[in-house]
Amino acid sequence: MDIGFIGLGNMGFHMARRLVEAGHRLTVADTRPEAVERLARLGAKAAGSPADVADEVETVIASLPTPDVVHAVATGPGGVIEGSRVRRFIDTSTTGSVMAKRVFAALAARNIVQIDSPVSGGVGGAAKGTLAVMASGPRPDVAAVEPVLGVFGKVFFVGEQPGDGQTMKLANNFLSATAMAATSEAMVMGVKAGLDPRVMLDVINAGTGRNTATEHKFPKIILPGTFDLGFTNALMIKDVKLCLSEASTLGVPMEVAQAVMRLLQLACDEIGPDADLTTIVQPLERRAGVEVRAK
């Protein structure tokens, strides 16, 4: 199948690479020439702009960092909306339902269908093809591209309304951020009391406290001190803010999310917005005077 792919960052590169390896004919674009060249060496065709990509293929996929970037790439000057051949725009980014509905309406005016399809599973999941793919949009259009989405991982059809996939993704990422924040507090407390962090994780993962942070992020990233998950504090703050905004619109109180946001903001202020999400533990460590590391 002829497919376009825009956004070749930590997630997008691996997703695009897997499409090439699956035998799809790929046309790619990114603001960084070196990212485009990396895919071109694997067999993809380079394009100069989103509109150029949309001139070449009927189906364009995007993996982009923020809602504003998605809006510009999809509907702005030189964007996908100006392409002569495009008929479907698949957005795998996290934008929130408000932006998804806005982009859907703009593209629909040009007879382009947006399929809202955010993904979860991190860089590792993108590399291995084990992402959770949360697709929403007109069912026939989702069905038409499901084999393509299946290259990325397991596809879930979550609804036909614009933004359904985004709501699902925000709920997921709020839970992921909460697991990271709560586990950081629990682990720092235990280490401060003199417990071995490896034993703590063994116990938690055999019990009811098990979560994604205890199973992967702490044993693989924090205990060794690599802090290289591949997802930044700023990106998670963006996702939790979007979740809070959506909850407010729906009239749903989210006290836990507010607390998680405060800890994320502390990490962003003290460690840096571009620092790895796993550094959320470091402000807590500083205040407690301990480090959660393998001895």
The pair of three-digit structure tokens given for residue 129, joined into one six-digit string: 């093809």
Determine whether 169 is an active site residue: yes
Dihedral Cα 68, 159, 3, 101, nearest 10 deg: -30
What does the block give as tokens for 166? 């985004």
Could you tell me the two tokens for 154? 């397991």
Q: Are 41 and 20 in contact (CB under 8 A)?
A: no
- Which tokens go with 228? 């290289």
Residue 90 CB-half CA count within 13 A: 27
Is residue 122 within 8 Å of residue 145, measured between CB atoms? no
Place of tokens 């510009």: 72
Which member of 101, 128, 154, 169 is catalytic? 169
Nearest to 249 by CA among 166, 182, 178, 176: 166
CA 218 – CA 186 distance, rounded (Å): 12
State both tokens at 224.
């060794």
Per the DSSP assignment, residues forming a β-bridge with 114 are: 89
The tokens describing 230, both together, are 């591949």
Distance between CA atoms of residues 114 and 160, nearest Å: 11
The angle, 0 to 180 degrees and rounded to 10, between the axes of the packed helices 281-288 and 255-270 is 80
Catalytic positions are 169
